[in-house]
Amino acid sequence: MRRVFIFIIISMAAVFGAAAMMNSSDGKAKFELKIPLGLDAQLQYIPADNPLTAEKIELGRMLYFDKRLSADNSVACATCHNPQFGFTDGMPVSTGIKGQTGGRSAPTVINRLFSDAQFWDGRAESLEAQALGPIQNPIEMGSTLDAVVKKLNAIKMRFRNRQRPDWRSSRVSA
């Protein structure tokens, strides 16, 4: 499940930034990010065992905008990290499920791939760890990883482990 949510974060760089399609030695299309001027490509962190592919970018895009990741189907990642507002919500404090307000504004998610500390206070040590937080936070998205896995598995083929060649027949797992 952690890998599914890292796709959400990493794919934003490719979805809304520059990316080049390349074929890897196994014939699968992978993404190579084109790093904007002023950023050091050596500082980005993409796990070696989890390279970017076109399928993962597509999965991340779908999940990022899907409100079904929240307990009541009302909040998506893009609700608080809206592309129209610089990937934040432009509010002094963010609003989650059931109209609950948090204690902080949503930080931008632009260039998060270049930081080893996530959230305003740095409490998550990686994007993988960060991506799980809002989904499980009772104010933000108010769900559980088990509930999200169950929802994704119930959606006919749409989110089925798209990073695998046989994704149409696979199941999502945590």
Q: Are 53 and 167 in contact (CB under 8 A)?
A: no
Q: Give the number of C-alpha atoms closer than 13 A to the C-alpha of residue 36, restricted to the C-beta side.
A: 10
Token couple for 35: 């790093």
In the annotation, is 58 catalytic? Answer: no
Spot the catalytic one: 32, 58, 128, 140. 140
Closest to 132 (Cα-Cα) out of 120, 150, 115, 119: 119
- Which helix (H) or strand (E) segment holds residue 3: the answer is helix 2-16
CB 62, CB 172: distance < 8 Å: no
Cα separations (Å) of 35 from 5, 18, 132? 21, 7, 26
DSSP 87-102: SB--SSS-B-GGG-B-
DSSP secondary structure string for all residues of 122-136: --BSSHHHHHHHHHH
User: What residues are annotated to the active site?
Assistant: 140
